[in-house]
Chains A and B, each alone.
Chain A
Amino acid sequence: AQKVTQAQTEISVVEKEDVTLDCVYETRDTTYYLFWYKQPPSGELVFLIRRNSFDEQNEISGRYSWNFQKSTSSFNFTITASQVVDSAVYFCALSERGGSGSRLTFGEGTQLTVNP
């Protein structure tokens, strides 16, 4: 069975600080996909990134970066120079069987608060 653990329930930082959100996953599949979603106070789920299990390259998109390490089953998310607008709940999620039609399993989420 697949499982996603986000050990950090809440993180509070001051604007312009860097912050890393941890995600550890469990799966028996060799082919799987990992995701990060942002949920702002308005409640919608905003897709941030998808990474497949064969691609361990780190990715950077603006102030966001992701570190995927199969050896430790982790897919961590870093926000550089955080801003107040980054305040949200962030969910890590896993899809097995190559993603084709299979369910997403979400972690518990990390509530990030960025203070001015």
Chain B
Amino acid sequence: EPEVTQTPSHQVTQMGQEVILRCVPISNHLYFYWYRQILGQKVEFLVSFYNNEISEKSEIFDDQFSVERPDGSNFTLKIRSTKLEDSAMYFCASFSGGSYEQYFGPGTRLTVT
């Protein structure tokens, strides 16, 4: 069964450093998403991406964040200058447009020290 993959599974970085979280969505999917879950809290939407551009973003997704689909398979989330409060689990999801189910990756746990 096709699945969304994410790398790395755990990333530790120092405050102020840039991080790139990587995702490989399911190959025939058209919509891509990033969500964030701070430990012990709910899952929050960050951004959606369709047709090589951002289709929607939340108020969390400020200028420190960017997304890119650099090739036909990867979908990345970049945080330019990490803060302590960026520590969270980051989930990538993809969606075909037909089944109405968003398929989630296993997540990347980001720890900012």
Contacts and interface: CB of A to CB of B under 8 A. Distances in A.
Contacts of A104: 33, 35, 43, 45, 93, 102
Interface stretch (A12-20, A57-65, A67-75, A105-113): A105-113
Nearest to A100: B97
* Interface footprint category on A: 20 to 34
Contacts of B109: 43
Interface in B31-47: 31, 33, 35, 41-45
B82 interface: no
A105 B45 contact: yes
Interface in A61-116: 91, 93, 95, 98-109
B75 interface: no
Contacts of A107: 42
B104 A103 contact: no
Interface in A35-51: 35, 37, 43-45, 47, 50
B87 interface: no
Interface of B: 30-31, 33, 35, 41-45, 48, 50, 55-56, 58, 89, 91, 93, 95, 97, 99-104, 106-107, 109
